[in-house]
Amino acid sequence: MTDSRNQRADVRSGPTSAVFTDAIALTPAEPEHFDLAFTATTQPCPWPKAYGGDMVAQATAAAMRSVEGKTLHSMHSYFLRPVDIGAEVRYEVELLRDGRGYATRQVRGYQNGKPVYTCLATSRRASRAPPRAEPPVGVPDPPNCPARPAYLRDTAAPRGTMTDTSEEY
């Protein structure tokens, strides 16, 4: 007797990292609109259109391939149109700025000649600062912090601008 849950898990065999790297695999292409271009294929999913996370991951990979010596700092994504499952998406990368500390890229995804996705990504050079900031001086550890009602009662102005209703709340 076969368990259907095990069958579903076996659909994609192999280590998780291999499944992910296959999902974000990019093929270099000749740019049509911007500076660099790549193609990728969306992965199967149970919905009628492709999973947006595929496009985010693929666009991230495309942006990161265009930057050397910096790591991804931030990314803002916009989904413009639904994407067909298992169909090729063309990612065009525009090199907007390469500074000493930061690099900025715009990535647009196209399918069937229409824009389906766009993002703005910034990458930054590694910081020489220590990995952690020193704890603030004079601030108690979380377990030793007073409860909010006690803190407000003890530190707030005698009446301030609170109304009776607000104070009762």
Q: pLDDT tens for residues 115-163?
A: 999 999 999 998 776 666 777 788 888 888 878 777 777 776 665 666 7
Is 62 within 8 Å of 72 (Cβ atoms)?
A: no
- Per-residue pLDDT tens over the stretch 20-70: 888 899 999 999 999 999 999 998 888 889 999 999 999 999 999 999 999
Confidence (pLDDT) at 159: 58
pLDDT of 8 higher than 70: no
Residue 152, pLDDT score? 73
Does the pLDDT at position 10 exceed 60? no
Q: Output Rg (C-alpha) for the chain, integer angstroms.
A: 25
Contact 80, 110 (CB under 8 A): no
- Mean pLDDT, rounded, for 3-11: 39
Query: How sure is the predictor about 169, in pLDDT bands with cuts at 50, 70 and 90?
Result: low
The residue that leads in pLDDT, 105 or 48, is 105
Q: What amino acid is encoded at 46 in this protein?
A: P
Q: What is the 3-state secondary structure (H, E, C) of 48-86?
A: CCCCHHHHHHHHHHHHHHCCCCEEEEEEEEEECCCCCCC
Q: What is the pLDDT at residue 16?
A: 72
Mean pLDDT confidence for 99-123:
96
pLDDT of residue 131: 65
Amino acid letter, residue 101: G
Residue 47 corresponds to which amino acid? W
